[in-house]
Chains A and B, each alone.
Chain A
Amino acid sequence: MKWLKWIGLLCVFFGSSLSGQSYMSAATDDDALARKYAQEIASIERGRLVYQQACEACHGANGDGNGPYAEALNPRPRDFTSGQYKFRSTPGGSLPTDNDLYNTVANGVPRTFMPPWKNLLSEENIRDVVAYIKTFSPLFREREPETPIVIASEPPPATEESIFEGEQVYKIMECWSCHGAKGHGDGPSAGELEDDWGHKIKPFNFAIGRYKSGEGPRAIYKAINTGLDGTPMPSYREDYLYPRDAFDDLSNLEEVYPQSEIDELRQYLDTIPTEAQLEEMSEEEQESLAEKRRWALVHYVQSLSQKGSLLRTLFFDNTDETQ
Chain B
Amino acid sequence: MCKFNKLWITLLLIFPLGLLYSQGGSLTGKVTFEGEPPAPQEVKITKDANVCGKEPHYDESLLVGENKGLQNVVVSIMNPPKGGDMSQLGKEFAIHQMGCTYTPHICLVPVNTPLLIYNDDGILHNLHTYSKKNPSFNISQPKFKKKVKKTFKYPETFPIKCDVHGWMVGYIVVVDHPYHAVTNENGEYKIEGLPAGTYQVQFWHEKLGTIQKEVTIEAGATATLDVSMKM
Q: Is there an interface contact between A177 and B164, defined as CB atoms closer than 8 Å?
A: yes
Q: Which residues on the B side are within 8 Å of A77 (C-beta)?
A: none
Query: Interface stretch among A148-156, A246-254, A286-294?
Result: A246-254
Q: Which residues on the B side are within 8 Å of A236 (C-beta)?
A: 139-140
0/1 string, B141-155, CB within 8 A of A gives 1 = 011110000000000
Q: Which residues on the A side are within 8 Å of B139 (C-beta)?
A: 92, 227, 234-236, 238
When the two chains form the complex, which single residue of B47, B51, B142, B143 contacts A188, counting CB atoms closer than 8 Å? Answer: B47
Q: How far is the CA of A234 from the CA of B161 in the complex (A)?
A: 12
Q: How far is the CA of A94 from the CA of B122 in the complex (A)?
A: 28
The count of residues in chain A whose C-beta lies closer than 8 Å to any C-beta of chain B is: 35
Mark out the residues of chain A between 187 and 244 whose CB falls within 8 Å of any chain B CB in the assembled complex.
188-189, 191-194, 196, 227, 229, 231-236, 238-239, 242-243
Q: Which residues on the B side are within 8 Å of A233 (C-beta)?
A: 138
Q: How far is the CA of A243 from the CA of B146 in the complex (A)?
A: 12
Contact residues on B (Cβ < 8 Å of other chain), bracket = 20 to 34
Q: Please give me the residue from chain A that is nearest to B130 by CB atom.
A: A196
Q: Please give me the residue from chain B that is nearest to A248 by CB atom.
A: B122
CB-based A-B contact count at 8 angstroms:
86
Counting CB contacts under 8 A, is B37 at the interface? Answer: no
Q: How far is the CA of A196 from the CA of B136 in the complex (A)?
A: 11
Q: Which residues on the A side are within 8 Å of B126 (C-beta)?
A: 232, 234
Mark out the residues of chain A between 155 and 192 whose CB falls within 8 Å of any chain B CB in the assembled complex.
172-174, 177-178, 188-189, 191-192
Interface of B (DSSP majority class): loop
Q: Is there an interface contact between B144 and A243, defined as CB atoms closer than 8 Å?
A: yes
Q: Please give me the residue from chain B that is nearest to A188 by CB atom.
A: B47
Q: Which residues on the A side are within 8 Å of B105 (C-beta)?
A: none
Counting CB contacts under 8 A, is A96 at the interface? Answer: no
Counting CB contacts under 8 A, is A63 at the interface? Answer: no
- Closest chain-A Cβ to B225's Cβ sits at a distance in Å of 35
- Contacts A94-B135, A193-B166, A232-B138 given; does A173 touch B124 at CB 8 Å: yes
| Chain A positions near chain B (C-beta within 8 angstroms) | 84, 92-94, 143, 172-174, 177-178, 188-189, 191-194, 196, 227, 229, 231-236, 238-239, 242-243, 246-247, 249, 251-252, 255
Given contacts A192-B46, A229-B136, 9 further A-B contacts (CB under 8 A): A84-B136, A93-B138, A174-B142, A196-B130, A233-B138, A234-B139, A247-B143, A252-B48, A252-B123
